[in-house]
Each structure stands twice: as structure tokens, then as C-alpha cells.
Structure 1
Amino acid sequence: MSGKKAGAQLAEGAPPPHYLGHRDRLRERFRKAGAEALADYELIELILFRAIPRRDVKPLAKALIARFGSFAEVVAARPERLAEIEGLGDAAIVELRIIEAAARRLARSSIAKRPSMSSLPAVIDYCRTAMAFLDREEFRILFLDKKNFLIADEVQGVGTVDHAPVYPREIMRRALELSACALILVHNHPSGDPEPSTEDIYLTHQIIAVGKPLKITVHDHLVIGKHGHASLKEMRLI
């Protein structure tokens, strides 16, 4: 009997890898008890199962949580940062990006067909899903029609950990292109603290001033952090 045939027979008679039973048990626990019964790293495992079918992914899932901090932060991490994790290939990164895209799409659907100012909690939930766990500052605009329905949701600037370039006249130019009558300004604080800075307040008033002669209203400026949000309108800063 050749060494190759003996090796093949040994492989056929060998017990299945331990992680296969673990995968079945984890899937069953998810089916019966739902996501709340699973730790963050276990949810990451479920995602990785599809991309990495022949390996124990628990150590990799735990490494991701250790690096980024939570399920949400793993899913929101930039691809280039995910690629720094040893053993995490392109297929797994794509799976994580799909989950992020699905979460954003679901959250956005809750505000797409209702007046945004009458569903502000849904707007905040969407913005938190889209921005709360980013590691760079991002400034986005929700463009609204005269009935406050969402026309477009666009990122206007992506920057560093504490600054994103924003140009009030460019915002208004885009609002006119879209025939928008009102705006909700949104940006995140990667530090996690949503307290608006002096610069945030000053920029908001600049945008309001540029929009006023064009009859374009700024309804609010939301600052999104990992630990909550701040509304300049609620704080009576605009």
C-alpha cells in the first residue's frame, strides 16, 4: 500500500475536526435563543463560518474583538485595518462588509419613507448604525424635501480622528442640485464623546447663514459618538 493511499484511508477513518461540532452547536444556540444569547465573538464566528469553512475560527473571532473592542466596531472597521489581522483573508473581510452594508440598509429603510423630522429617533438610530463606530471623522448630510422626506443621504467629508473637511457653500450647492429645502447635519466623534465642540457650533452657524438667503433650513446638527449622541437643536445651540 502506498503512503498516499494509507494517508487517504487514515483521513477517511479519522474523527471529524472538533470545530465542526462546535459550529453546529453554535448555530443551534443561535436558532433557539437568538443573538442575545451569544457573545460578540460568537456572532463574529457565525459570520466567519461562511468565508473560512475548514478552520477553527474562534481564535480569529476573539482576536478581532480584542483589536477593535466590540461586534459593532469589528463590522465597522475599515478593510485595510481588518487586513492587519493575521489569518483574515479577503473573503472574510467581504463577509464582514456585507453585514455592515445590511445593517445600514435596514436602518436607512426606517427613515426613507417617513418625514425625517417626525421620526427623529429613527434618524438617530440610522446615524448611529452608520457612524458611531467609525475610526475617522465623517460629515454627512441628510437632504430633505419641503415635506421633510429624505431626498438623499450623502457623506460630504471624511477626515482624521478629529476633523473632517466641510465647506458650507459646497453643501448648499449640492442642496440646490437636489432641490432640497432642508438639511440635517450629522458627524461623528471617533473619541466616543458626542459633546459638540466650539468648532462644531461655529460651523453649524456658518451653514445656517449660507442657507438662509437660499431658503434652505438646517433642522438640526447631530453629533454621534459610541456612547450616545448630541443634538444642537435640543441643546438650544441653534
Structure 2
Amino acid sequence: MDRKDIGYQGHRGRLRDRLLTGGADALLDHEVIEYLLALAIPRKDTKPLARALLAEFGDIETLLTADPGMIARVKGAGPTVVSALKIAQVAALRLLKTKIKKAPILSGWQALIDYLHADMAFRLTERCRLLHLDNHNRLIRDEILSEGSVDQAPVYVREVIRRAIELCSVGLILVHNHPSGDASPSEADIQLTRSIVAAARPLKIYLHDHVIISSSGACSLRGLGLL
């Protein structure tokens, strides 16, 4: 091992010690990414790449939720680096999802929004998902309804109702993202929401909300008085 190797290995050891003794706030953002990448490529100084990735994407959230192809465009970010970043995202999503499973969703609304934002806010194409709830407002199933283009993901009311019947859902929360960054509902979003409400009501299935996620935040159609 030459002096250069000894230098970054010693630095890495100091990062590890700070992490283990100081907890979540002990490392700066670029140090978090640097250490994560070091686990994937241990025989390389990962500080320059960590800084380059954060310079490109701006912050950790945007980096971890970025499209794999966009990450790979950064020089030095090969498949191993991309995979390391995406597995960190998966772990974070699993942690957030565990929180929303442990209590009625409507009493832990912010935890739900945090989970949805982490999963959908920075997607390049629209994704629509449906959360199925039981009669205690606990999550039964979180399912992706459709994947679409940059401005559309088709949703069919009959499929929403059919699946709700199959799962014996009592409540539903519809969610989709706007890649444009504007979470404001379109006229089509409003009409879809009202169509689902009308179809579900005779079956005593309740649409609690239609939530739109974007990089700028989240929008609730119920909160806007549109549901």
C-alpha cells in the first residue's frame, strides 16, 4: 500500500469513527456519500466522486432519488456506484414505509407524505399508485397502478374499483407525481378523482384523498376542497 492509499484509508477510518461515535449529524453530506461509495469501491479514494455527484444533483435526496441513467452520466459513476446509491434509496424507502405500516395512515399523514416524496418526487416520468386501507385506516397494500410519460400515466376507474373489491379495501388514497415540479392538480386530475368517488360510493369504498407529489412538495385535493 503506497502513501496515497494509506492517506485515504486513514481518512476513511476517521469518517467511520465519527459516524459510530457522533451519529447522524457527525458527517457532512459529501462525507456521507463518500463513505457509502467507499463500501462499494473500497480500493479507491471516493471523495472526488462524492463531491462531483453532489455538485451535479445539489443534495443527497435528489442524488439518491435520481434516475440511474442520469447518475451514470457523471464521470466515474459506473454500475457499482449507481447500485450503491440506489440500494441506499431502497433502504431509506423501506424505513419510511415501515413507519406508515405501524399506525393508521390518517393519523400519521406526514410520515406518508415523506415516504411518497422520497419515492416519487424526482421521477422523470409519471407514476400513479393506489394505497388500500382497511376499516381502521391501516395500509393493506401499496400498489403501482401505472407508469407513463413525462406528463401522463393512464388510470382506469374500473381497474381501481376492481382491485379495491379484490382486496376488500374500505378506503383508498390515490397518488401520482408531476415530473414538471408543479404539484397543482390539472383538470384531468380533478375529473379522475370525482369519477373514482362516484364509482366507489355505492360500494361503500371511501376515497380519502388524491395526493400529487412533485419536487416542490405535495398537494392534497381534499385539502384544496376538490374532493
Counterpart code for 1:29? R
Q: Which residue of the partner structure matches residue 15 of structure 1? A: 3
Q: How far 1:133 sits from its partner (Å)?
A: 2.5
Q: Which residue of the partner structure matches residue 46 of structure 2? A: 57
Q: How far 1:143 sits from its partner (Å)?
A: 0.4
| Residue 78, structure 1, aligned to residue 57, structure 2 | no
| Residue 127, structure 1, aligned to residue 116, structure 2 | yes
2:152 alignment partner, SS class: coil
2:36 alignment partner, SS class: helix
- Pick from 140, 150, 175 the counterpart of residue 151 of structure 1: 140
Q: Which residue of the partner structure matches residue 87 of structure 1? A: 76
Unaligned stretches of 5+ in structure 1? 1-11
Q: How far 1:37 sits from its partner (Å)?
A: 4.6
How far does the alpha carbon of each residue in 1:81-117 deviate from its partner, in whole angstroms, 9 at most, with x for none? 3333332232222221221111111111111132212
- Pick from 190, 196, 208 the counterpart of residue 201 of structure 1: 190
Structure 1 or 2, whichever has the larger Rg, is 1
Q: How far 1:183 sits from its partner (Å)?
A: 0.3
Q: Which residue of the partner structure matches residue 167 of structure 1? A: 156
Unaligned stretches of 5+ in structure 2? none
2:144 alignment partner, SS class: strand
Kept in 2, the 8 Å contact 1:35–1:43? The answer is: no
| Residue 111, structure 1, aligned to residue 124, structure 2 | no
Distance 1:188 1:15 in 2: 49
Counterpart code for 2:225? R
**Change beyond 3 A, Cα 1:161–1:32:** farther
Distance 1:92 1:43 in 2: 14
1:199 alignment partner, SS class: helix
Counterpart code for 1:173? R
Q: How far 1:160 sits from its partner (Å)?
A: 2.3
Kept in 1, the 8 Å contact 2:35–2:46? The answer is: no
Kept in 1, the 8 Å contact 2:183–2:218? The answer is: yes
**Change beyond 3 A, Cα 1:94–1:119:** same
Q: How far 1:16 sits from its partner (Å)?
A: 4.4
**Change beyond 3 A, Cα 1:231–1:61:** same
**Normalised by the size of structure 2, how large is the TM-score?**
0.90
Q: CA RMSD in A?
A: 1.9
Distance 1:33 1:130 in 2: 28
Kept in 2, the 8 Å contact 1:223–1:231? The answer is: yes
Distance 2:180 2:39 in 1: 33
How far does the alpha carbon of each residue in 1:23-62 deviate from its partner, in whole angstroms, 9 at most, with x for none? 2233333334444353332221111001111112122112
How far does the alpha carbon of each residue in 1:140-191 deviate from its partner, in whole angstroms, 9 at most, with x for none? 1110112211110011112223222211111111111111111011112223
How far does the alpha carbon of each residue in 1:64-96 deviate from its partner, in whole angstroms, 9 at most, with x for none? 223333211211123333333332232222221
Q: Percent sequence identity over matched residues?
A: 48
**Normalised by the size of structure 1, how large is the TM-score?**
0.86
Q: Which residue of the partner structure matches residue 9 of structure 1? A: none
